[in-house]
Amino acid sequence: MKTSAIRILGLDPGLRRTGWGILDSDGVRLSYVASGVITSPSGDDLAYRLRALFEGINGIIASFSPREAAVEETFVNENPRSTLKLGQARGAALLAPAMRGLQVAEYTPNQIKKTVVGAGHAQKQQIQAMIGFLLPKAKFDSADEADALAIAICHANHRFTPQAAALRLMKEART
Protein backbone atom coordinates (compact mmCIF):
# COMPACT_ATOMS: atom_id res chain seq x y z
CA MET A 1 0.00 0.00 0.00
CA LYS A 2 1.49 3.33 -1.08
CA THR A 3 1.28 6.21 1.36
CA SER A 4 0.68 9.65 -0.08
CA ALA A 5 3.16 12.38 0.76
CA ILE A 6 2.49 14.80 3.58
CA ARG A 7 3.66 18.41 3.36
CA ILE A 8 5.35 19.62 6.54
CA LEU A 9 6.21 23.17 7.61
CA GLY A 10 9.14 23.54 10.00
CA LEU A 11 9.48 26.79 11.96
CA ASP A 12 12.52 28.08 13.82
CA PRO A 13 10.99 31.02 15.71
CA GLY A 14 12.79 34.23 16.49
CA LEU A 15 11.62 37.81 16.90
CA ARG A 16 14.16 39.22 14.42
CA ARG A 17 14.31 36.22 12.08
CA THR A 18 11.97 33.25 11.90
CA GLY A 19 13.28 30.51 9.64
CA TRP A 20 10.81 28.36 7.73
CA GLY A 21 11.24 25.23 5.66
CA ILE A 22 8.81 23.04 3.80
CA LEU A 23 9.31 19.46 2.72
CA ASP A 24 7.21 16.57 1.51
CA SER A 25 7.54 13.18 3.18
CA ASP A 26 6.05 9.92 1.96
CA GLY A 27 7.25 8.02 5.02
CA VAL A 28 10.46 6.93 3.29
CA ARG A 29 11.68 9.80 1.13
CA LEU A 30 12.00 13.50 1.89
CA SER A 31 11.66 16.15 -0.82
CA TYR A 32 12.64 19.78 -0.44
CA VAL A 33 9.87 22.22 -1.39
CA ALA A 34 10.95 25.69 -0.20
CA SER A 35 12.55 27.63 2.63
CA GLY A 36 13.16 31.19 3.71
CA VAL A 37 13.22 33.69 6.53
CA ILE A 38 10.52 35.99 7.85
CA THR A 39 11.87 39.18 9.39
CA SER A 40 10.17 41.76 11.56
CA PRO A 41 11.14 45.44 11.54
CA SER A 42 13.39 45.96 14.58
CA GLY A 43 12.20 49.53 15.08
CA ASP A 44 8.54 48.60 15.40
CA ASP A 45 6.72 48.01 18.67
CA LEU A 46 6.60 44.39 19.83
CA ALA A 47 2.93 43.89 18.89
CA TYR A 48 3.60 44.92 15.29
CA ARG A 49 6.70 42.74 15.06
CA LEU A 50 4.67 39.75 16.25
CA ARG A 51 1.95 40.62 13.73
CA ALA A 52 4.56 40.64 10.95
CA LEU A 53 5.71 37.14 11.96
CA PHE A 54 2.13 35.86 12.26
CA GLU A 55 1.13 37.28 8.87
CA GLY A 56 4.33 35.99 7.26
CA ILE A 57 3.66 32.46 8.50
CA ASN A 58 0.03 32.70 7.35
CA GLY A 59 1.26 33.74 3.90
CA ILE A 60 3.58 30.73 3.70
CA ILE A 61 0.77 28.40 4.74
CA ALA A 62 -1.53 29.94 2.10
CA SER A 63 1.15 29.62 -0.59
CA PHE A 64 2.36 26.07 0.10
CA SER A 65 -0.60 24.33 1.83
CA PRO A 66 1.25 22.24 4.40
CA ARG A 67 -0.88 19.78 6.40
CA GLU A 68 1.32 19.66 9.49
CA ALA A 69 3.72 22.03 11.22
CA ALA A 70 6.57 21.62 13.69
CA VAL A 71 8.07 24.31 15.90
CA GLU A 72 11.26 24.30 17.94
CA GLU A 73 10.71 24.57 21.69
CA THR A 74 12.12 27.61 23.43
CA PHE A 75 15.39 27.33 25.27
CA VAL A 76 15.99 29.58 28.24
CA ASN A 77 18.99 31.85 27.95
CA GLU A 78 20.66 34.14 30.48
CA ASN A 79 18.71 37.25 29.49
CA PRO A 80 15.10 36.99 30.76
CA ARG A 81 13.89 39.76 28.41
CA SER A 82 15.29 37.94 25.38
CA THR A 83 13.74 34.68 26.55
CA LEU A 84 10.35 36.35 26.98
CA LYS A 85 10.50 37.92 23.50
CA LEU A 86 11.52 34.60 21.98
CA GLY A 87 8.58 32.97 23.76
CA GLN A 88 6.23 35.56 22.28
CA ALA A 89 7.61 34.96 18.78
CA ARG A 90 7.18 31.26 19.39
CA GLY A 91 3.56 31.91 20.36
CA ALA A 92 2.96 33.52 16.96
CA ALA A 93 4.67 30.54 15.28
CA LEU A 94 2.39 28.11 17.13
CA LEU A 95 -0.79 30.12 16.70
CA ALA A 96 -0.62 30.76 12.94
CA PRO A 97 -0.71 27.09 11.85
CA ALA A 98 -3.11 26.13 14.65
CA MET A 99 -5.62 28.75 13.50
CA ARG A 100 -5.44 27.29 9.99
CA GLY A 101 -6.24 23.80 11.33
CA LEU A 102 -2.78 22.27 10.93
CA GLN A 103 -1.52 19.68 13.38
CA VAL A 104 1.32 21.38 15.28
CA ALA A 105 4.14 19.47 16.98
CA GLU A 106 6.97 20.76 19.15
CA TYR A 107 10.52 19.43 19.47
CA THR A 108 13.45 20.33 21.69
CA PRO A 109 16.67 21.54 20.08
CA ASN A 110 18.48 18.37 21.26
CA GLN A 111 15.77 16.10 19.82
CA ILE A 112 16.01 17.89 16.47
CA LYS A 113 19.81 17.63 16.38
CA LYS A 114 19.78 13.98 17.45
CA THR A 115 17.23 13.13 14.75
CA VAL A 116 19.07 14.91 11.94
CA VAL A 117 22.72 14.44 12.88
CA GLY A 118 22.67 11.59 15.39
CA ALA A 119 24.05 13.70 18.26
CA GLY A 120 22.03 15.97 20.54
CA HIS A 121 24.77 18.58 20.78
CA ALA A 122 25.63 18.90 17.09
CA GLN A 123 27.07 22.13 15.73
CA LYS A 124 25.29 24.35 13.15
CA GLN A 125 27.75 23.26 10.44
CA GLN A 126 26.95 19.59 11.06
CA ILE A 127 23.21 20.29 10.80
CA GLN A 128 23.68 22.21 7.55
CA ALA A 129 25.83 19.42 6.09
CA MET A 130 23.19 16.80 6.93
CA ILE A 131 20.41 18.98 5.46
CA GLY A 132 22.45 19.09 2.25
CA PHE A 133 22.79 15.31 2.33
CA LEU A 134 19.14 14.54 3.21
CA LEU A 135 17.67 17.24 0.95
CA PRO A 136 20.16 17.61 -1.92
CA LYS A 137 17.91 20.08 -3.79
CA ALA A 138 17.62 22.37 -0.76
CA LYS A 139 18.82 25.92 -1.26
CA PHE A 140 19.22 27.85 1.97
CA ASP A 141 21.08 31.05 2.69
CA SER A 142 21.00 31.08 6.48
CA ALA A 143 21.24 28.92 9.58
CA ASP A 144 17.62 29.89 10.33
CA GLU A 145 16.42 28.20 7.14
CA ALA A 146 18.59 25.12 7.75
CA ASP A 147 17.28 24.86 11.31
CA ALA A 148 13.68 25.12 10.07
CA LEU A 149 14.31 22.32 7.57
CA ALA A 150 15.88 20.25 10.38
CA ILE A 151 12.72 20.78 12.45
CA ALA A 152 10.58 19.58 9.52
CA ILE A 153 12.84 16.52 9.09
CA CYS A 154 12.55 15.77 12.79
CA HIS A 155 8.76 15.88 12.53
CA ALA A 156 8.77 13.66 9.44
CA ASN A 157 10.70 11.08 11.47
CA HIS A 158 8.63 11.33 14.65
CA ARG A 159 5.08 11.91 13.41
CA PHE A 160 4.14 8.24 13.74
CA THR A 161 5.49 7.71 17.25
CA PRO A 162 3.00 6.68 19.97
CA GLN A 163 3.15 10.21 21.43
CA ALA A 164 2.28 11.77 18.06
CA ALA A 165 -0.58 9.31 17.59
CA ALA A 166 -1.97 10.23 21.02
CA LEU A 167 -1.85 13.93 20.12
CA ARG A 168 -3.69 13.27 16.85
CA LEU A 169 -6.39 11.33 18.69
CA MET A 170 -6.82 14.15 21.21
CA LYS A 171 -7.14 16.68 18.38
CA GLU A 172 -9.70 14.53 16.57
CA ALA A 173 -11.72 14.19 19.78
CA ARG A 174 -11.91 18.01 20.08
CA THR A 175 -13.37 18.39 16.58
Residues belonging to the active site: 12, 72, 144
- SS3 labels along the chain: CCCCCEEEEEEECCCCEEEEEEEEECCCCEEEEEEEEEECCCCCCHHHHHHHHHHHHHHHHHHHCCCEEEEECCCCCCCHHHHHHHHHHHHHHHHHHHHCCCEEEEECHHHHHHHHCCCCCCCHHHHHHHHHHHCCCCCCCCHHHHHHHHHHHHHHHHCCCHHHHHHHHHHHHHC
Residue 145 phi, psi dihedral angles, 5° rounding: -65, -45
